[in-house]
Chain A
């Protein structure tokens, strides 16, 4: 049995779904960040697989830029989390939420 692009894409879709469940489920902001990291990694696998399938380096390039975006997201996001924690003493979305809706 050969491992084709289909295997990688299905795996990537499943990992993305795991991350999606996490994003929907989590109420703690830090855990929500972890779930988004899972989703970004799943997309990276798909990019690398498609790049490999077409023999094209663009897939890998996009994966690099996704990694750069994720790194800056973490830097800014953690700064915001620290500010929020100092302000509210908690990272729970129910505590932090100020809008009624």
Chain B
């Protein structure tokens, strides 16, 4: 009973918050709604017994990714409303609605493949005296998924270096000055490049 109530609360709040994210004209509102929606998404993970995934969602998405977006707000002007020119405004809604309809029909059809067996069943670590989702995840991650894990680590390192190099260039020039007096700054950059 509680699961049903929790599911519907989380479902409605995620849908509303993500709709705000997609529709809002203000960057700050969109970002806040996205962060709140991600907190709600982690609620589904807790409901589904994936405790560790829920915690990772909270820490990585709500903590790190949203903080990164919040920092990027310092570079872009977040107070202005965004003006977007839509050439065909209804097309996106029609396509998205059709897609949602197809998904609903597809997933409400009876599921085939009841005989699929679990490769790495839940409760793997119970024999070792430990129990809980985090132990299971650790066992599977560091045995069967060790190579993808290492590849993901290298990928994150590459992404970090790329981010530093891309964002760090010409960091000593203010962007707000750039808007105020473009010509002046261009001279400054040229001068800076020369020396």
Residues of A within 8 A of B (CB): 1-3, 5-11, 13-22, 24-28, 30-31, 33-35, 37-38, 41, 44-45, 48-49, 51-52, 54-58, 60-61, 63-65, 67-76, 78-83, 85-86, 89, 91-92, 94
Q: With A26-B84, A60-B52 known to touch, is A85 a contact of B75 (CB < 8 Å)?
A: yes
Say whether B124 contacts A57, CB under 8 Å.
Answer: yes
Q: What is the count of residue pairs linking A and B with beta-carbon distances less than 8 angstroms?
A: 233
Q: Would you mind naming 23 contact pairs between A and B with Cβ atoms under 8 Å apart?
A: A10-B103, A14-B103, A14-B104, A18-B15, A22-B21, A24-B92, A26-B22, A26-B84, A27-B86, A31-B27, A44-B53, A51-B50, A52-B48, A57-B120, A61-B141, A61-B148, A71-B156, A73-B159, A79-B166, A79-B167, A85-B76, A89-B182, A94-B85
Q: Which residues of A contact B72 (CB under 8 A)?
A: 30, 78, 81-82
Say whether A13 contacts B18, CB under 8 Å.
Answer: no
Cα A18 to Cα B12 in complex, Å, equals 13
One of A1, A5, A18 near B19 (C-beta < 8 A): A18
Q: Which residues of B contact A16 (CB under 8 A)?
A: 99, 103
Nearest CB in chain A to that of B121: its residue? A55
Give the dominant DSSP class at B's interface.
helix
Say whether A72 contacts B21, CB under 8 Å.
Answer: no
